[in-house]
Amino acid sequence: MQHDGHALAADETDHQHHRPRGVASVHTRALVTWIAIFPLAAVGMALLARFAPDWPTTLRALALTAVVVPTTVYVTVPRLLALALSTSERRRRRAAVLRTTAVHTTESAHFSTPVGATR
């Protein structure tokens, strides 16, 4: 799908060009997936090198992915995405509070300036 000649990510829609709150961006999901897979693959490769050094490469890849993919899809990625989204939501709320505080501070400074005084 495209919008104004630019390709849209899978989570973007043409009419709003924004994703709904609570849905991680495609970039966040890609990073989280990589963060989940890399350590599992590294540990799995080390274990297979130690315990199955004579296995053919294809069999080692099959054994590794048989463990890494389900673990990543069902355990690691959902937990990391939940963590990323809760962190993002906390930042969003904190920024909203800071904006509200800044508005109130500016308004109170404006109204507390005596008539004829300069700032």
pLDDT tens readout for residues 5-27: 666 665 555 555 566 777 888 99
Q: How many CA atoms lie within 13 A of 51 on its CB side?
A: 9
Rg (CA), the chain: 25
- In this structure, the chain runs to a length of 119
At residue 103's C-alpha, the angle toward residues 98 and 108, to 5°, is 125
**Statement: residue 60 has pLDDT above 80:** yes
More confident residue, 66 or 117: 66
Confidence of residue 97 (pLDDT cuts 50, 70, 90): confident
Give the list of residues 6+ apart from residue 60 with CB closer than 8 angstroms, or none. 45, 48, 52
List the one residue out of 2, 15, 35 whose CA is nearest residue 24.
35
**Digit-coded pLDDT (tens) for 72-88:** 999 999 999 999 888 88
CA pair distance 39, 68, nearest whole angstrom: 10
